[in-house]
Structure 1
Amino acid sequence: MKQWTERPLEFNQIRQMVEELATSTLGKEWISQMQPSTERQTVQLWLDKTEEAMVWLRMKGEISLRGLVDIRPSLKRAELGGILNEEECLGVAGTIRAGRNAKSSLRQVDIEKYELPLLRQMTEAIESLENLEHTLTDSIDEQEIVRDSASPELSRIRRQMETTRAQIQSNLQQVLRNKQKMLQEAIITQRFDRYVIPVKSEYRVQFGGIVHDQSASGATLFMEPQSVVPLNNQLRELELKETREVERILAELTNLIAEQADFLRSNIDLLGEIDFLLAKARFAHRHKAVIPNLATQRTISLRKARHPLLDPKIAVPIDVELSTPIQALLITGPNTGGKTVSLKTVGLAALMAQCGLPILAEPESTISLFSGIFADIGDEQSIEQSLSTFSGHMTNIIRILSQMDSDSLILFDELGAGTDPTEGAALAISILEDVMERGATVMATTHYSELKVFAHTHPHALNASVEFDVETLRPTYRLLIGVPGKSNAFAISRRLGLSLELIDAAEKHLSPEERDLEEMIATLTAERKAAEETLKEAMKLREEAESMHAEVRTNWERFEEEKIQLREKARQEARRIVNRAEQEADEVLKELREWAKLRPQDLKEHELNEMRARLGKVVPEMKLPQKMVSKKKEEKLEVGDEVYIPSFQQKGFIVEEVGNKEFQVQIGVLKMKLKANQLEKRETPKQQTKQPKATFVRSNQDVSPELDLRGKMVEEAIQEIDQYLDHSVLAGYKQIHLIHGKGTGALRTGVQNFLRRHRSVKSYRLGAIGEGGSGVTVVELK
């Protein structure tokens, strides 16, 4: 028995599955030599390379190594002075091309998203050798024939050969026309590389020429007419010259290959490993396998692990948890219930991981490194177990015990079976105790109730079972950790119709300890099932809650976005109106100044009043929707009152009453004529009513250079910032501070998103150390 038990775990079949996914004999050779390692650094390196290959394959879809062949025998012959043929030369060219394609493919993967350092190091070490590849492909075509262009001499020889062939064909065609009655068929053929004509045997003498062959019946002779003998001889000489020139060309190409033999061997090693890694990546993709984590302590934590040889459509995944201080897992349950498959699944996962292979499990599965994996697994399901079978199992167990150490993984199938149940159970317990005392990790399957009790009472052992559905009388193949398997003989018999009297009589033959054990198992199974149902319901409710939360959040974000868009649209419309009013006012003032300058004596009072009236009408009357009309529209407004104009989201002062419920309002440097229902009165000290009527400029003493937003919602803060920015601009500030605090960052993000689009903001930044850091945004105004 070797350090690794492969045949009972069917690891060779896994190796064959991976080997079928390699694209070259080199990759298949790497796979055939694949063996587990006990060195953590080595195994981690293998797994990292495999994971990078999985990313590479996922990004590129497929990586072609077409043309890659094992050229090592050719390289050896070239170095020994032999001449490579056309096929071997093209094999070298194809291998060079495969290396260059692999390097190019990996370079196309975005290095910023996927570094893939191990694979990049490998591919960058591949020598391009483009000159050698081009020389080979320029000299030999895809049909493995040396090209005419390979040398001037070869081109000249082949032109002469074509000319000679044409002369031979012309000569023979003339013979066919002139001597038709002597011919068996009017065709031209070849015998022994000589052009001949099939002639009836009775015309041998009359036809004249050299006989090269005859038909089986002797009625037809294949004769070379005397007139083409010199031409055929000339053609043969040219063919010999062609052969010598081709050999000379191949010798030159072989010398070029020999000069690069070391680089080519290095490329072969790298490409063989790359093909090996890609085969593992294809295996992972095909079987939905993952790279496991390597535990630093004794741990087996497999999530939904599957056996690679089972049909994934019907295979039931298992969860296995085994970690310190637990050393032993005892699996009980009915025959054909999945106990042996569970053992093989764990053993295979450990073997595959230590070979650098992905395992068939869910992400975040974890497994330890073992110094050896030993298994005594018999697939016999017969009830006729003879002494020889027991002896065979004991021979394996003795070998395992002699070779194992504290870091080994031991797998026992039906431990102690094949002999007297009492003696077998006692022997199984003693073997388990010995393995555990020596520090190894062990998994075993059994039917013995004594082993259930042993696992229940031993501090470093744990019970497990494969589930059995009594209602359908079928195993579910699920592995239940922490629950011993219940004997289902009575339940099955009851379902099949055995009388209750016989079942009750059988139960009386059980000892009190056995009855207590069965009751404990039944209770544990029921509690486990109830807990699983509760967990399923909780997970379902959680998924529903998460779905509802996501939907609400999406709707809220859409609402916020629409609200911002509507506000921005209204703001732009207001700004357009104001800009138009400013332009009209500028035109009126300019016209007044020019008129006054040119003809001051002609400027009449009524004309000036008309100009002023025109200036007062530059802002069109705005009809607000009902919801925007001020709730305080019935309040009495007077000259000097501070008012708020909702349509512009600005404050101003009434400077003049121009009509019935119509006022002229000073907003910054602008005057607008607005109706009373467009205004909202603000409480203002009376001394503020004595403002000059010509212009209104807010003093910076009325506006603080900083605004505290802490504790506010994003929408509330944005409204306050919008007004504050306008006031700050009117006050003449070039820089202001918005205090939003640090918190979760949501308020800061909302504030800065708003600042990014505001017309009055030149730039913004987070505060420096002395300015409040990330709790303050410093705004530069235009």
Structure 2
Amino acid sequence: MNEKVLSTLEYEKVKSSIEQYLTTRNGKKELAALSPVDNPNTINMWLDETDDGAHILRLDKEISIPKLDDVTPYMKRLKIDASLNGSELSKINKILKTSNYLVRFFNNLRDDEVSLNRLYKLINEIQAVPNISQRLSDSIDDDGRLLNTASKELNSIRRRMDVIKGEVRSIMNQFTQKHSKDLTEPIVTIREDRMVLPVKAENKNKFGGIVHDRSSSGQTLYIEPASTVGLNTELRQKQIEERHEERRILIELSDLIRPYQSEIINNSKILGHLDLINAKAKYARDLKATRPVVSNDNHVNLKQARHPLIDMNKVVANDLYIGKDNKAIIITGPNTGGKTITIKTLGLLQLMAQSGLFVTANEGSSVAVFDNVFADIGDEQSIEQNLSTFSSHMDNIVDILNGISKKSLVILDELGAGTDPKEGSALAIAILDKIAEKDCDVVATTHYPELKIYAYNRPQTINASMEFDSETLQPTYHLMMGVPGQSNGLNIAARLGLDESIITEARSLVDQDSQDLNTMIVELTEQTKRARVEADELKVQLDDATKLHEDLSEAYAKYKNQKDRLVTAAKQQANEIAEAAKKKADAIIKDLHEKQRKVGQVTVKENELIDAQGQLNSLRHDVNLVNNRVLKKAKAKHDFHKGDDVMVKSYGQRGVLVKKLDDNEWEVQLGILKMRIAEGDLEKIKVDNDEQRFNTKVKRTASKRVSAKLDLRGHRYEEAMHEVDQYLDSAVLAGYPSVTIIHGKGTGALRQGVTDMLSSDRRVDSFNYSPANAGGDGSTVVKLR
């Protein structure tokens, strides 16, 4: 595809819009290299990939890829036996972790039987790098810092360093407390990587140790106390050991991934390609773009096409089709009527489709596959080249005529403009004839009336125009195929108030054929406009009817399913009732038979026969639910009104309805409390006049059962956190103002867990470590609200 047309049709702006969705360096590289192709197989493959990405988005999922750098330079360094630093290894690990995540993500899609065109095959090309990612994750964090778990030696060194720092800090804190008057500030600071105190110069003799620095005024000396010199020296030694161990680990990790350079580079490229697919899909979703069909006959049929760079709420959509019987389209109409945007829309959507992008047109649109697209649009005169507008257009057209083939698309704006109208129209006709000889598709805009007649008389050529509202004197930006543009100059002049005599004289100077042609165009325009308006109205009605039909179909299907389930359940229940009734009836009849057999031996009393008849009658169930007393009673219990006495089932307490808050909740007065209660938790009750309306009692839990201290030492982390949560509930109910949680010092995990939980707990007013004589930071005192 020639580079000039990409610039003319603003193809790069579309790519810039896609770039905002990219997160990987390789994805951005691939987008920068993206351009339209003329291979139908490649186009369909790219469209399949974009379709897969769009399908995943429709499922409310996403091909989630974090920000990834290009690791190719790091691989080159590994190739020459160099070692990588922590940041570089972290970026490589990010690629490995993302690869593993995406493999699992697509495996889950397979398990859910999600159908995809291409991406399963693409994800299968990711090459596993066994155990490397786990080793890197155990050794390096996301910022490239080595973790304590990188090696036992590093962990041991850092633990000892933490102990030393704690001891030094403790000694220093004692100095700041006891000798605060001798210090410029009661703080501990750092000089030459050693902890020092800012001592007033006149008090230096009160401190033994080493002076590491002094202030610019000389009033402050930064002294390392003698009691910390040994510890700081040991700390310094441990820092050197730490650096040596870190260097050794980085070399080991670099050697670990060195054999897998090609696999890592391959995975990085696949992730970049998936990133671009995801970006194309998101761009299509946000623009409401659809997948076009690649026409086998090389015909373009864009339904309600919109320019992708114009606001969706402002752009006017048009049907655009070319090919088959319409190899050439001549668009006429007034300036600022939308001719240029229309032909640019056609060209840009074609370029997008040939790049594997969805197009801003309705479903079912089709595109051709052109070997090249040529465009001459706008005023491209160059002062440096001393080319006039006409010369510039002719220069472009010469290049176009030399480059076109049977499978090219040519877009020409204001063909023949910039010279004498007679010569310009003749030249335009000749150029169109030359293009027709090549049998390629062409769309041209013009003001020349001669080209309207040309389009009418030439085979496979059609007139088109941009609709103009003669009432408002404004363009509507709708394209009308088959209708040439009308001349509105005299009508516009008359509406703007030009003297009627001038208008009349002007009309007399226009030949009769031109007037007749213009009248015919006006009539065609009005007919086309009415047809479009009616079509739009019918489309709205059809959409509404279709939606209603779908909703009714769905509702009917649900009704049928529910009805079938209810009928089946009712039959099953009826069978169970009938079976039970049959057993009871058989027992009653058997008893009557026994009594009948004993007639003469034993007298059968009348009341026994009546009782038996009553038992038989009771087996009959009333199917009229309206008169069902059980249902009436149950419904009455839930017919709530303001002021009703109710039982709150979850609390077992009586209350009075104050007001209804919404469809499902009431405000209920329970003693001195007002509570928000769900309607399903209420049951209406009757209260005798002499009965107390409220008998709610509030009991306080005996605090003697709850200790004021909770000891977590020796407990597992999860178990301890659960105990803290339950204990706080008990303490609040017991009415304690404060409690103590003993977690010990240990590794600090329990202490940190308790701190994190208390920080976000609404039951807690404040908390702090116990005083030094009561456990210090081995326990926490909690004040409760």
With structure 1 as the length reference, what TM-score do the two structures score?
A: 0.70
User: In 2, Cα distance between the equivalents of 1:162 and 1:544?
Assistant: 72
What is the match of residue 238 of structure 2?
A: 238
Please tell me whether residue 134 in structure 1 is matched to residue 151 in structure 2.
no
What is the match of residue 721 of structure 2?
A: none
- Are the aligned partners of 1:318 and 1:478 in contact in 2 as well (CA < 8 Å)? yes
User: In 2, Cα distance between the equivalents of 1:310 and 1:186?
Assistant: 65
Report the CA distance between 1:335 and its aligned residue: 1.1
User: In 2, Cα distance between the equivalents of 1:8 and 1:22?
Assistant: 25
Q: Output aligned runs, 1:101-112, within 5 Å.
A: 101-109=101-109
What is the match of residue 63 of structure 1?
A: 63
- Are the aligned partners of 1:212 and 1:222 in contact in 2 as well (CA < 8 Å)? yes
Report Cα offsets for 1:97-154 as digits up to 9, x if no partner.
Answer: 2222223333333667631041112223324546222211211234532122221211
Report the CA distance between 1:72 and its aligned residue: 2.2
Secondary structure of residue in 1 paired with 2:319: strand
User: In 2, Cα distance between the equivalents of 1:57 and 1:546?
Assistant: 25
* Letter aligned with residue 511 of structure 2: S
Please say which of residues 36-45 and 74-83 is displaced more in the overlay. 74-83
Secondary structure of residue in 2 paired with 1:5: helix
- Are the aligned partners of 2:473 and 2:492 in contact in 1 as well (CA < 8 Å)? yes
What is the match of residue 273 of structure 1?
A: 273
What is the match of residue 309 of structure 2?
A: 309
1:624–1:536 CA distance, 2 compared to 1 (3 A): same
1:550–1:389 CA distance, 2 compared to 1 (3 A): closer
- Are the aligned partners of 2:211 and 2:222 in contact in 1 as well (CA < 8 Å)? yes
* Letter aligned with residue 455 of structure 2: A
Q: Output aligned runs, 1:611-622, within 5 Å.
A: none
What is the match of residue 764 of structure 1?
A: none
- Are the aligned partners of 1:67 and 1:91 in contact in 2 as well (CA < 8 Å)? no
- Are the aligned partners of 1:577 and 1:619 in contact in 2 as well (CA < 8 Å)? no
- Are the aligned partners of 1:291 and 1:363 in contact in 2 as well (CA < 8 Å)? yes
* Letter aligned with residue 29 of structure 2: E
1:223–1:107 CA distance, 2 compared to 1 (3 A): same
* Letter aligned with residue 220 of structure 1: T
What is the match of residue 320 of structure 2?
A: 320
What is the match of residue 83 of structure 1?
A: 83
Rg: which structure is higher?
1
User: In 2, Cα distance between the equivalents of 1:548 and 1:350?
Assistant: 35
What is the match of residue 408 of structure 1?
A: 408
Report the CA distance between 1:514 and its aligned residue: 2.2
User: In 2, Cα distance between the equivalents of 1:199 and 1:569?
Assistant: 90
Q: Percent identity?
A: 38
User: In 2, Cα distance between the equivalents of 1:508 and 1:476?
Assistant: 30
Q: Output aligned runs, 1:168-187, within 5 Å.
A: 168-170=168-170, 172=172, 183-187=183-187
* Letter aligned with residue 366 of structure 1: S
Structure 1, unaligned stretches of length 5 or more?
626-782
What is the match of residue 339 of structure 1?
A: 339
User: In 2, Cα distance between the equivalents of 1:208 and 1:569?
Assistant: 93
User: In 1, Cα distance between the equivalents of 2:371 and 2:123?
Assistant: 33
Secondary structure of residue in 1 paired with 2:97: helix
Secondary structure of residue in 2 paired with 1:444: strand
Secondary structure of residue in 1 paired with 2:131: helix
1:407–1:476 CA distance, 2 compared to 1 (3 A): same
What is the match of residue 769 of structure 2?
A: none
* Letter aligned with residue 428 of structure 2: A
Secondary structure of residue in 2 paired with 1:14: helix
Report the CA distance between 1:298 and its aligned residue: 2.9
Please say which of residues 413-422 and 280-289 is displaced more in the overlay. 413-422
- Are the aligned partners of 2:53 and 2:63 in contact in 1 as well (CA < 8 Å)? no
User: In 2, Cα distance between the equivalents of 1:177 and 1:583?
Assistant: 93
What is the match of residue 501 of structure 1?
A: 501
* Letter aligned with residue 116 of structure 1: L
Report Cα offsets for 1:353-404 as digits up to 9, x if no partner.
Answer: 00000110100011100000111111689xxxx9711111111111111111
What is the match of residue 469 of structure 1?
A: 469
1:121–1:424 CA distance, 2 compared to 1 (3 A): same
- Quote the RMSD (CA, aligned, Å): 4.3
What is the match of residue 663 of structure 1?
A: none
User: In 1, Cα distance between the equivalents of 2:253 and 2:541?
Assistant: 73
Please tell me whether residue 43 in structure 1 is matched to residue 23 in structure 2.
no
Report Cα offsets for 1:427-469 as digits up to 9, x if no partner.
Answer: 1111111111101111111111111111111112111111111
- Are the aligned partners of 1:64 and 1:101 in contact in 2 as well (CA < 8 Å)? no
What is the match of residue 369 of structure 1?
A: 369
- Are the aligned partners of 2:63 and 2:274 in contact in 1 as well (CA < 8 Å)? no
* Letter aligned with residue 32 of structure 1: A
User: In 2, Cα distance between the equivalents of 1:72 and 1:296?
Assistant: 41
User: In 1, Cα distance between the equivalents of 2:213 and 2:528?
Assistant: 91
Please tell me whether residue 350 in structure 1 is matched to residue 337 in structure 2.
no
1:232–1:499 CA distance, 2 compared to 1 (3 A): same
Report the CA distance between 1:208 and its aligned residue: 6.2
- Are the aligned partners of 1:411 and 1:442 in contact in 2 as well (CA < 8 Å)? yes
Report the CA distance between 1:257 and its aligned residue: 1.9
1:462–1:135 CA distance, 2 compared to 1 (3 A): same
Report the CA distance between 1:79 and its aligned residue: 3.1
What is the match of residue 520 of structure 1?
A: 520
1:147–1:305 CA distance, 2 compared to 1 (3 A): same
Please tell me whether residue 74 in structure 1 is matched to residue 74 in structure 2.
yes
1:487–1:149 CA distance, 2 compared to 1 (3 A): same
Report the CA distance between 1:299 and its aligned residue: 1.1
* Letter aligned with residue 147 of structure 1: L
Please say which of residues 39-48 and 397-406 is displaced more in the overlay. 397-406
Please tell me whether residue 447 in structure 1 is matched to residue 447 in structure 2.
yes
1:117–1:581 CA distance, 2 compared to 1 (3 A): closer
Please say which of residues 241-250 and 586-595 is displaced more in the overlay. 586-595
1:359–1:550 CA distance, 2 compared to 1 (3 A): closer
1:601–1:77 CA distance, 2 compared to 1 (3 A): same
1:200–1:551 CA distance, 2 compared to 1 (3 A): closer
User: In 1, Cα distance between the equivalents of 2:404 and 2:195?
Assistant: 77
- Are the aligned partners of 2:379 and 2:389 in contact in 1 as well (CA < 8 Å)? no
Report Cα offsets for 1:511-545 as digits up to 9, x if no partner.
Answer: 33322321231232122233334545655676787
* Letter aligned with residue 486 of structure 2: K
User: In 1, Cα distance between the equivalents of 2:458 and 2:341?
Assistant: 25
What is the match of residue 282 of structure 2?
A: 282
Report Cα offsets for 1:677-697 as digits up to 9, x if no partner.
Answer: xxxxxxxxxxxxxxxxxxxxx
- Are the aligned partners of 1:23 and 1:65 in contact in 2 as well (CA < 8 Å)? yes
Report the CA distance between 1:470 and its aligned residue: 1.3
Report the CA distance between 1:505 and its aligned residue: 1.3
What is the match of residue 739 of structure 1?
A: none
1:555–1:258 CA distance, 2 compared to 1 (3 A): closer
Q: Output aligned runs, 1:649-688, within 5 Å.
A: none
1:571–1:57 CA distance, 2 compared to 1 (3 A): closer
User: In 1, Cα distance between the equivalents of 2:524 and 2:443?
Assistant: 21
What is the match of residue 162 of structure 1?
A: 162
Aligned residues: 618
Secondary structure of residue in 2 paired with 1:267: helix
Report the CA distance between 1:45 and its aligned residue: 0.4
Report the CA distance between 1:477 and its aligned residue: 0.7
* Letter aligned with residue 362 of structure 1: N
1:92–1:390 CA distance, 2 compared to 1 (3 A): same
Secondary structure of residue in 2 paired with 1:108: helix
What is the match of residue 486 of structure 1?
A: 486
Report Cα offsets for 1:586-608 as digits up to 9, x if no partner.
Answer: 66886798899x9899899x99x
Report the CA distance between 1:480 and its aligned residue: 0.9
Report the CA distance between 1:4 and its aligned residue: 6.1
Report Cα offsets for 1:589-631 as digits up to 9, x if no partner.
Answer: 86798899x9899899x99xx99xx99x989999999xxxxxx
- Are the aligned partners of 2:405 and 2:438 in contact in 1 as well (CA < 8 Å)? yes
- Are the aligned partners of 2:380 and 2:389 in contact in 1 as well (CA < 8 Å)? no
Report the CA distance between 1:156 and its aligned residue: 2.2
User: In 1, Cα distance between the equivalents of 2:400 and 2:554?
Assistant: 61
Please tell me whether residue 421 in structure 1 is matched to residue 421 in structure 2.
yes
Please say which of residues 548-557 and 444-453 is displaced more in the overlay. 548-557
User: In 2, Cα distance between the equivalents of 1:135 and 1:164?
Assistant: 29
User: In 1, Cα distance between the equivalents of 2:88 and 2:59?
Assistant: 33
* Letter aligned with residue 14 of structure 2: I
User: In 1, Cα distance between the equivalents of 2:517 and 2:216?
Assistant: 92
Report Cα offsets for 1:19-77 as digits up to 9, x if no partner.
Answer: 11112222222111111111010111000111111001111343321253322222222
What is the match of residue 398 of structure 1?
A: 398
User: In 1, Cα distance between the equivalents of 2:209 and 2:268?
Assistant: 57
